[in-house]
Amino acid sequence: MRYYKKIILYMTILIFTMNLLVINTIAEPVTNVTVIPGEPEPLSTVSFTANITSEEAVDEVYVKIKECTPTICFAIKNLSMEFDGDEYSVDFTLEHSDATYFDYWLEIKSGDSWFTTEKASVTLKIEASNENDNNGNTGETEEDNNGGIPGFEILIFMVAVFIALIFFRRKRL
């Protein structure tokens, strides 16, 4: 009985080891992705073109797009890319006017495996707006409007409180 348990254990280990070797020998597809325009504006249309070479036949290609502001990223969009005989391509219209950049990556199904490329970022071209000029702005910079570096008011207040405490303690003695 013990002999059968050892054989089953060795066979299980052998099968897992062979599966790992087979998984590691499958080569990832090589991709070259082009984004046009290189520096798009928010809400504009962006074209993705991918040239994919693989030892296995490429079954499906998806581009994942995540638009972001400096503080938050929006939901990831998943677009299927169409094959035109030479390369895969898709057009996407950016959806968020306040986005400053977007990340994208490809997910490729080749054979029975899925491969994910590294993320790439594209910075959006943000034009300076003149909205503040019509709202009573006198041409001062934002630093001039602040009245200086914030935080020093608190420091002055703390020094004043400390001096007042010293004077009150001396009066009691």
Provide the pLDDT for residue 25: 46
Structure token digits, residue 159: 């020094």
Provide the pLDDT for residue 8: 73
The reported pTM is: 0.59
Fold type of domain 28-123: Immunoglobulin-like (2.60.40)
In order of 29, 62, 153, the CA distances from 81 in angstroms are: 15, 6, 57
Chunked mean pLDDT (size 10), the chain, 173 residues: 68 64 57 87 92 83 93 93 89 93 91 87 79 48 53 74 78 60
Own/partner pairs, 114-122, CB within 8 angstroms, 24+ separation: 115/28, 115/29, 117/31, 117/33, 120/33, 122/35, 122/38, 122/39, 122/40, 122/46
Provide the pLDDT for residue 129: 57
CA terminus-to-terminus distance, the chain: 94
Provide the pLDDT for residue 112: 81
Provide the pLDDT for residue 133: 45
Provide the pLDDT for residue 18: 61
Query: Residue ranges of the domains in the chain?
Result: 28-123
